[in-house]
Amino acid sequence: MNQPALHRPPQPAFWRNLRDLPQALSLSAVVAGFLVVLVGYTGPLLILLQAARAGGLTDAQTASWLWAATVGNGITTMLLSLRYRQPLTAPWSTAGVALLVTSLAQYTLPQAVGAYLLCALAVMLLGASGLFGRVMALIPQPVVQGMLAGILLRFGIGLFTTLPERPLMVIAMIGVFFGLKRLQFRAPTLGALIIGVVLAAAGGEIHLDQVALTLTVPQITLPEFTPDAALSLALPLVLLALSSQYAPGQAVLLAAGYRAPINGILVITGGASLVWGLFGGHGVTLGALLAALVTGPDAHPDPDRRYAAAWASGAWYVLFGLFGATVMSLFAGFPAALVAAVAGLALSGTITGALTGALAVPEGREGATVAFLCAAANFTLLGIGAPFWGLVAGIAVHLLLRYGRPAAPAAVKDDAA
C-alpha cells in the first residue's frame, strides 16, 4: 500500500496503537522525526530565544520556557499520535512566538502566563463545542493573515539589516538557503545555519566557553490575569494559532489522506497548553509547517504506520528538551547577526504565505492592508499592543466595505472529534 486512503479516519485505540508501535517504528520514521526536530531547532527555537531576550526573562525563566515548549511539544505529540494513530504533531506556534518578540516586553511574566492560560482555555472550549469551522468562517482570514504579515515583517527586514554588518555571512546564508530550496532539500534553514556557523567561527565570533551539559529545572509561574494582556496577547495568540496552525495543519493532513479529528485535537492541545503554560510555555498547537515531514511516504511507506514518525519526533523533542539550558547556552554563543539571519530565513515561507493569504481575495485586501500596516507599526495605545489594533482596524474596514454583500464561501469545515 503506497498511497494513503482519502479521508483516512482516526483510530482512537491508545493501547493497541502503543502495542503496534515497535513494528511501525522503522528507520525512516525515526529519521523523519529527527528531521522535524532539526528544522525546529534551526529556526523557530531561535525566535523563541529572541522573544525571551526581548521580554527581559532571566536565564532560568528562559530555560523553563524552552523546556515547556520542547518537552511539552514532545509529550503532547506522542500522546496525540498514539491516541488517533495518525501522524499528528503538536509544536509551539511559530507565529505566536514571533508576536511575543514585539509584545512580551510590555508585560510581566505572570501576566504573560495568564494570557497563555486564557488562550489555552479558549482553544480547549472551542474544541469541546465543536464550533471550529463556524468560528473560522466568521473571522475574516485576509485580516488575520495581514496582521500576521505585519508581525513578521521585522524578521524579514532583520535579515537584510544585518547585511552591512556581516555581508559575506548573510549573503552566503541566503544563497545556501535558496539553493537548497531549489534542490527541494527538506531543511534549507539547517544548511543556512551551518554555513553561517562555519563563517562566524572562521571569524572568531562563536563563543562556546559557557556551554555545559545541564538538565533544565522547570519553574512554575503563577498567572496574573489582566485585560491588557488578554487583548494584546491572548486574543492574537488564539487567532494566530487557529489561522496559522490548526487550519493549515488540518489541510496538510487531509492532503495526505488523513481526516484529522480537529475537535479532539483542539481539546487535547488546549488542555496540554494549560499545563505547560504554568512553566512559561506559550502553548502547543497542531503542526502545520513541519507536518509534511511525517505525513508522506518518506516517513513510512505504510500510511497506517506513519503515526510512528510523529511519535518519534515527539520522543526526540523530549530528549533534547530535557537539556534546554544547554541548548540555550549554545545558541547564546552565536553572533546576533547570525541569529537574525536564521530567523528571517526560517520565517520567509510563513511571511510569503501570510502575504499571499492577505491578498488572495480581492474583496478582503483593504482590510488586510490596514491590519498589516497597523501591526507592523508596533505601537501601544491604551496599554494594548499594535496586533490587537490591527485586528480591530482591519475588521472594521473589512465590515465597512463588505457588510451586506455576498461573502466568499468558507473553506474550513467541521470534523467530528
Q: Cell 480537529 sits at which residue? A: 262
**Residue 412 pLDDT > 70:** no
The answer as to whether 190 is a domain residue is yes
Q: In the prediction, which pLDDT does 257 show?
A: 83
Q: In the prediction, which pLDDT does 406 show?
A: 60
Give the range of the structural domain holding residue 113, as residue numbers without chain letter.
Answer: 14-130+153-229+258-346
pLDDT band at 99, cuts 50/70/90? confident
Comparing 151-155, 262-266, 358-362, 396-400, which segment has the lowest mean pLDDT?
151-155
Mean predicted lDDT score pLDDT of the chain = 84
Q: Are 80 and 268 in contact (CB under 8 A)?
A: yes
Q: 197-221: per-residue pLDDT in tens?
A: 899 888 888 777 776 777 788 899 9
Q: In the prediction, which pLDDT does 416 show?
A: 36
Q: In the prediction, which pLDDT does 7 show?
A: 61
**Residue 289 pLDDT > 60:** yes
Q: In the prediction, which pLDDT does 287 show?
A: 85
pLDDT band at 127, cuts 50/70/90? very high
Question: Residue 8's beta-bridge partner residues?
Answer: 258
The answer as to whether 336 is a domain residue is yes
The answer as to whether 387 is a domain residue is no
Q: Are 290 and 40 in contact (CB under 8 A)?
A: yes
The answer as to whether 365 is a domain residue is no
User: Mean pLDDT, to the nearest integer, of 357-385?
Assistant: 84
Q: Are 61 and 113 in contact (CB under 8 A)?
A: no
Evaluate the CA torsion angle 371, 376, 380, 383 in order and state its sign. positive
User: Mean pLDDT, to the nearest integer, of 122-148?
Assistant: 85
**Residue 366 pLDDT > 70:** yes
The answer as to whether 330 is a domain residue is yes
Better-predicted residue by pLDDT, 314 or 162: 314
Q: Which residues contact 151 (CB under 8 A, 6 or more apart)?
A: 95, 98, 99, 102, 375, 376, 387
Total tally of structural domains belonging to the chain: 1
**Residue 339 pLDDT > 70:** yes
**Residue 194 pLDDT > 60:** yes
**Residue 411 pLDDT > 50:** no
pLDDT band at 373, cuts 50/70/90? very high
Q: In the prediction, which pLDDT does 409 show?
A: 52
Residues belonging to the chain: 417
| Amino acid letter, residue 182 | R
Q: In the prediction, which pLDDT does 417 show?
A: 38
* Global pTM value: 0.76
The answer as to whether 372 is a domain residue is no
- Please give the share of the chain, as a percent, with pLDDT higher than 70: 92
Q: In the prediction, which pLDDT does 414 show?
A: 40
CA 374 to chain centroid:
22
Better-predicted residue by pLDDT, 159 or 42: 159
Q: 33-75: per-residue pLDDT in tens?
A: 887 887 777 667 778 888 888 889 998 898 899 899 999 999 9
The answer as to whether 381 is a domain residue is no
Write the CA distances from 302 to 11, 33, 296, 317, integer angstroms.
15, 16, 9, 24
**Residue 408 pLDDT > 70:** no
Q: 309-324: per-residue pLDDT in tens?
A: 999 999 999 988 887 7
Better-predicted residue by pLDDT, 383 or 355: 355
**Residue 82 pLDDT > 50:** yes
CA gap 164, 277 in Å, rounded: 39
User: Mean pLDDT, to the nearest integer, of 135-143?
Assistant: 81
CA gap 74, 68 in Å, rounded: 10
